[in-house]
Amino acid sequence: MIKTVVTLVKRWYAIPYLLLCTLVSVQSVLYLLGGNDFSFSWLGSAVALVPLVIFIGIVYFLPWLGIAHFIAIPVVTVLLGSFLAIIEMRAVPTFYTLFFGLGGVLAYIFWYSYLDRGDNQLLRIGAKLPEFSVRTLDGQLLHSSAFLGRKTLMVFYRGNWCPACQVQLRELAAEFEEIQRRGVAVVLISPQTPERSAEQAQRFNVGMQFCIDEGNLAARSLGIAHRYGVPLGILGYGQDTVLPTALIVDENGKIVYADLTENFRVRPKTKTLISALDSVWM
């Protein structure tokens, strides 16, 4: 019950928080440009929140740009803004800076980013991959048994809306030839619609196989479903998604590598995956 409540709170966090920060940023800038007496506190509020709003906006609305890696940028501007705000300590702008700026960034890094996933005995290294089914882009039902007889890298990703997923898939596409050279198939699985996955496949235009987990059924059978994982305001993706997961499975269906990240911003680098492949088969 508590975990469900926390997940719901997280779902309500991102977009409403961005809207509130936008309003506060506009108010701070208008004060500074409105001919009022100069104020360190209002300047601190603007310095803390304007870059933060721009950063979050780019992260969520232009996720393929990969700016999510540069979380240090808003951290630095928020710290600078907080320093300016407390010089003068005007109540309203200082509250804006410390609550929405410093507090919001700390909440994002140390609370919102964590997935609260428990131990998953189904996907432990050495275990046989549980059976599940997904659909190909052309609507064909694909059972997990179809992956037997070949080495497979499976990446379960949340969808086109997820900035960390976009960076992860872009890195995989860039190194796809290196992975393919090792005789490994790459299968990308998401609960998003076939149209959105087809858009993704067309964007990268390499031989990675995109599959659709309708109704998140495969994720549930594997214990990696993320209920209420889609932020409020992200339209067209439903409310449930999958916990980001990367698996390497051998020809016999045995899991030889598993990354079940606890932090949605942290994904295994493609170089790390290639090293894992080499450690198993070379």
Shared domain for 133 and 234, answered yes or no, is yes
Task: Write down the mean pLDDT value for the chain.
Answer: 92
Q: Which of 44, 16, 1 is nearest to 232 (CA)?
A: 16
Count of the separate structural domains present in the chain: 2
- Boundary of a domain, candidates 79, 95, 112: 112
| Phi, psi dihedral angles at 201 (to 5 degrees) | -60, -40
Q: In this predicted model, what pLDDT tens digit does every residue of 13-22 receive, in sequence order?
A: 888 898 999 9
Shared domain for 27 and 99, answered yes or no, is yes
Shared domain for 154 and 101, answered yes or no, is no
Domain that holds residue 268: 121-281
Task: Kindly report the CATH number assigned to the domain that includes residue 217.
Answer: 3.40.30.10
pLDDT mean over 114-139: 93
Alpha carbon 150 to its chain's center: 29
List, in order, residues 6 or more apart from 264 with CB less than 8 Å away.
113, 115, 158, 162, 164, 244
Q: How confident is the model at residue 1 (pLDDT cuts 50, 70, 90)?
A: low
Q: What is the DSSP string of 22-70?
A: HHHHHHHHHHHHTTPPP-HHHHHHHHHHHHHHHHHHHHHHSGGG-GGGG
Shared domain for 268 and 235, answered yes or no, is yes
pLDDT mean over 181-198: 95
Alpha carbon 3 to its chain's center: 19
Task: Please give the Cα distance from 229 to 215 (Å, whole number).
Answer: 14
The Cα-based distances of 133 to 107, 149, 165, 226, 265 in angstroms read: 37, 17, 22, 18, 27
- What pLDDT is recorded for position 3? 77
The Cα-based distances of 272 to 8, 188, 239, 256, 277 in angstroms read: 33, 17, 31, 14, 9
Alpha carbon 214 to its chain's center: 20
The Cα-based distances of 220 to 170, 212, 249 in angstroms read: 26, 14, 19
Task: Please give the Cα distance from 215 to 206 (Å, whole number).
Answer: 26
Shared domain for 82 and 221, answered yes or no, is no
Q: In this predicted model, what pLDDT tens digit does every residue of 208-220 receive, in sequence order?
A: 999 999 999 999 9
Task: Please give the Cα distance from 204 to 174 (Å, whole number).
Answer: 9
Shared domain for 59 and 145, answered yes or no, is no
Task: Please give the Cα distance from 234 to 15 (Å, whole number).
Answer: 8
In angstroms, how far is the first alpha carbon of the chain from the final one? 46
Shared domain for 74 and 153, answered yes or no, is no
Shared domain for 149 and 103, answered yes or no, is no
Q: In this predicted model, what pLDDT tens digit does every residue of 39-93 receive, in sequence order?
A: 999 999 999 999 999 988 888 777 767 777 788 999 999 999 999 999 999 999 9
Residue 104: in which H helix or E strand, if any? helix 104-107
Shared domain for 43 and 133, answered yes or no, is no
Look up residue 102 and give its amino acid. L
Query: Above pLDDT 70, what percent of the chain?
Result: 99
